[in-house]
Each structure stands twice: as structure tokens, then as C-alpha cells.
Amino acid sequence: MDATIDIRTVDGNVNILLEDAQVGSIREVLVELCLSTMAEFSMLIDAAGRVVASGGETAAFDTEAIAALAAGDLATTRQLARMLGEPEFALLFQHEKQKNLFMTAVDNDAILIVVFDVETTFGALRLRIRRSISQLQQILHQARKNTVVAFASTSDATRRSLEEKEEEHEGAPSTAAVVQPAEPGAAQPAATGGTGLPEQLANDVRKAVAWFDGFKGWEVMFKDEVAFMRNSLTRNRPEEIENVRMTLVRTRARLTEQKRLLEAKFRMVQSLYQQFLSVLHGVMLKAWTAEVVDRAMKAAFTGVGAEFNMISSGAQKKADGAWTLEFASIGKQMVLMCHARGMNYQDGVGELLRQMNASLMALSAFLAENARLRDELIQGWARVFHHYAEGLKTLDLESEALELFRPLVRPGQMPKA
């Protein structure tokens, strides 16, 4: 399959592969939308914050930064919608005299953004946009079908290499045990042989323990439960059956709840991170020569976290010299680190914040001679952080990580806006 562009989920997995012709059709829909509504420009982006296609006058805007911020924004909007029991929110922000923005999810992982000004009436846009959305959905639906076929027909060798890559990302050597369903033939004799548990329960417990083995981070959080379940497989105590069953059910329920909480936290950190990048970019663009910016950015993204540098894993320099950063790679790196160090994800988020702060410090060292730019950088970060400090606290983020930032955001120290 001749695919040039892909659409990724929020954690960076490729979900849809688009052929050149399909990208062309998407672009046509976007251009037509702009022409018929007099909108300034429209973009289709993926949940990982990358631009898939755009139409209209985009030259005056930093579309990549807009896409990254918009993906972060929609992530928190989705969390809000879930909280209120809504399937999805479409977002609109308005400023009568300047720009208005309309943002809506086209697909699980594709987001449509339309930027328009006073020349466009919102009513007309709303009517027209429905048609565009359904056209885009059709294209994506077809592309998704093709993607499934393409993956299915991939030769064994390619598939193996893909799987190896996946494992590498997961970072836990024992994940294979989780992916493979338990072999009933082999497992059953062992199940009845000495566990004292009913076959089905023994299988469930074994699966659960294998799952936890593959995800060290979660094992840390459910240490006692996992140890109890592991022991129950060898202890052969029929009187414990009910206890084991209850532990299994309760652990499963708590795990679901914890995952949901983690997701909310992850979304917030994603949004925080993307705003952080936007601040870095904005300030560094004003700093001296391109060469200095380059050195400073390099220092910021490579100088922190010797083993697992989450920030640098998302940093890339493009051909035109600008630095881009992808949240998806950061997320993967975070998972990798949590697995390798047996940390829980909470600590991973804390580490990410710590690295962001270290990056900021590395950058501000380069700006030491220019007090104005340094203040601007700190002020920007403090502003972004201040917005989130309470939110992260509400979500029980590790207090130690938050304390690191405290000196920067004490009100008296902040330069006046």
C-alpha cells in the first residue's frame, strides 16, 4: 500500500494509513469548505497533534503549534464531556473582532479545525461543516478499511519486525505472555494440579498475574493483591477460594478506576506539555541567532535524564531548522521508563514534569545575559504551570514533583504581565 501520511492515536500508535489520493481528497474537502464559508483556513489533525492536511491561507500561522495545542485542548474537552455524560463536545471560541475557531472530532483520532473571522457567519459554517464532516468521515472510513487489509496482508517477515518494534516500545519483555491467550490444553492440568482453585478461577488468576508481570508499574500499585493471587496458585487452600475470587474482582474494578484517573492526568499533562513547548518556541525564536537557538534547544533536550530522556525522545529538528516535539514519543518513553524501573505511572508523570523543568533551566542558562527573554521564559512557564498546579494537585500528582516548581510560581516572584 502506497501510504504517505498516517493518523495516530493519542498515544502515538498508527491507526489509519492514508494514500496520496486520499490525502488529496481530504485537502479538496478542506479547500472547498474554506471557499464556501469564507473561512480563513481549515485543518485536519490527528489525536497525536500532527497536521494531516490543510486548506486555505495557512501561511501566516504556525499550523504545527496550533495542531499540537488543539489536540491537547480537545483531550481535556473530551475528559470534560465524559464527566458530564456527553459523547463529545464540539468547541468554538469566539472573538467577534478578531478570529474565531471551530474544532470538532471527525473520528476518534481525527480532529477538524476551522479558523474564521468576521466575514464568515457561524450559522452558515455550521450548516456547511456537517457536509464536510460526513465527506471526511467517508474518506477516513475507507482508509481505515484499507489499513486493516494492508496490515493483514503484510508479509510474515514485516509483521514480525513490526511486532518486535511494538515490544520494544512496550519495553516489558514479558508482555508476550499477556498478549498470547493462555493455552487451554497446557494450562488446565496445571490449574487443577495443586492450586486447589476451580479451573476457571485459576486460569483467571494466572492471566491476571501474567498481566501484572508485564506491567511492572501497575504491579507496584497493587503489590499486596498480586502477591496474594500469586500465592493462592501454589498454596492449595480450598477454603480461600471465595477470598481469591473477591480479590480478583476487586482488583479488576480498582484497576479500571485507576486507569481512568490516570487517563485524566495524562490528558492534563499532555495539554501542559504542549503549552510548555509553545512557550519555549515563542521565546527562543526571539533569541539571537539561529545558531544560539539551536545550541540552547539541544542543551535543553539532551541535557536531562541520562537514561530515559522523555523530552529529547520527542524532540526533532526539521529540515527548515525549526524544532518540533511530539507528545506521542514522550508517552511511549514514559511507559518504557515505568516498566524498566518498576515505577508506577504517577512517578512517570512526576519525572516528566521534572525533566521539563530541567529543560527550562538549561534554556534559561543560555538566556542568562538577556534578562528580558529569561523573564519571559520563566513567566510563560509559570503561567502555564500555575494554570495546572491546582488541577494536578486535585488529581493527586506526586507532591514532590510539584514542589520542584513551587519557587517559580510564588506570586511575589513573578514578573508583572
Q: Which residue has the cell 494537585?
A: 393
At residue 114, the 3 state secondary structure works out as strand
5 vs 99: CA distance, rounded Å: 29
Q: Which of 5, 17, 33, 70 binds another protein (CB under 8 A)?
A: 70
Q: Specify the residue, 14 or 81, whose C-beta has the smaller distance to another protein.
A: 81
Report residue 264 as a C-alpha cell: 485524566
Q: Which of 59, 87, 185, 242 binds another protein (CB under 8 A)?
A: 87
Q: Does position 46 bind another protein by CB under 8 A? A: no
23 vs 86: CA distance, rounded Å: 31
**Restricting to residues 113-142, which ones interact with another protein according to CB under 8 A?**
115
Q: Which residue has the cell 514479558?
A: 174
Measured from the CB of residue 201, what is the shortest distance to another protein in angstroms?
Answer: 34
Q: Specify the residue, 217 or 314, whose C-beta has the smaller distance to another protein.
A: 217
Q: Specify the residue, 248 or 349, whose C-beta has the smaller distance to another protein.
A: 349
Measured from the CB of residue 121, what is the shortest distance to another protein in angstroms?
Answer: 15
**Restricting to residues 307-346, which ones interact with another protein according to CB under 8 A?**
337, 341, 343
Q: Specify the residue, 43 or 191, whose C-beta has the smaller distance to another protein.
A: 43
Measured from the CB of residue 38, what is the shortest distance to another protein in angstroms?
Answer: 16
**Restricting to residues 351-380, which ones interact with another protein according to CB under 8 A?**
351, 354, 357-358, 361, 364, 374-375, 378-379
At residue 367, the 3 state secondary structure works out as coil
At residue 43, the 3 state secondary structure works out as strand
Measured from the CB of residue 406, what is the shortest distance to another protein in angstroms?
Answer: 9
40 vs 125: CA distance, rounded Å: 12
Contact 46, 58 (CB under 8 A): no
Question: Which residues sit opposite 3 in a β-bridge?
Answer: 19
Q: Which of 57, 88, 163, 168 binds another protein (CB under 8 A)?
A: 88
Count of residues of this chain found to bind another protein when the rule CB under 8 A is applied? 74
105's CB contacts (< 8 A; 6+ apart) are 74, 78, 88, 90, 111, 112
Measured from the CB of residue 400, what is the shortest distance to another protein in angstroms?
Answer: 7
231 vs 365: CA distance, rounded Å: 53
**Restricting to residues 227-266, which ones interact with another protein according to CB under 8 A?**
264
* Pairing status of strand 41-46 against strand 14-19: unpaired
252's CB contacts (< 8 A; 6+ apart) are 208
Q: Does position 395 bind another protein by CB under 8 A? A: yes
Report residue 13 as a C-alpha cell: 500508535
Of the listed pieces 43-51, 84-92, 157-165, 239-247, which binds another protein according to CB under 8 A? Answer: 84-92
b/e 198-232 (16+ beta carbons within 10 angstroms → b): eeebbbbbbbbbbbbbbbbbbbbbbeebbebbbeb
Give the angle 79-83-85 at the CA atoms, nearest 5°.
115
Q: Does position 196 bind another protein by CB under 8 A? A: no
Q: Specify the residue, 206 or 374, whose C-beta has the smaller distance to another protein.
A: 374
**Restricting to residues 275-294, which ones interact with another protein according to CB under 8 A?**
275, 278
Of the listed pieces 164-172, 201-209, 273-281, 312-320, which binds another protein according to CB under 8 A? Answer: 273-281
b/e 97-120 (16+ beta carbons within 10 angstroms → b): eeebbbbbbbbebbbbbbbbeeeb
Give the angle 11-12-16 at the CA atoms, nearest 5°.
120
Measured from the CB of residue 397, what is the shortest distance to another protein in angstroms?
Answer: 11
Q: Which of 347, 349, 356, 373 binds another protein (CB under 8 A)?
A: 347
Q: Which of 181, 185, 193, 407 binds another protein (CB under 8 A)?
A: 407
Q: Does position 408 bind another protein by CB under 8 A? A: yes
Q: Which of 271, 329, 333, 346 binds another protein (CB under 8 A)?
A: 271
Measured from the CB of residue 413, what is the shortest distance to another protein in angstroms?
Answer: 5
Q: Specify the residue, 91 or 201, whose C-beta has the smaller distance to another protein.
A: 91
Q: Does position 155 bind another protein by CB under 8 A? A: no
Of the listed pieces 11-19, 76-84, 131-139, 167-175, which binds another protein according to CB under 8 A? Answer: 76-84
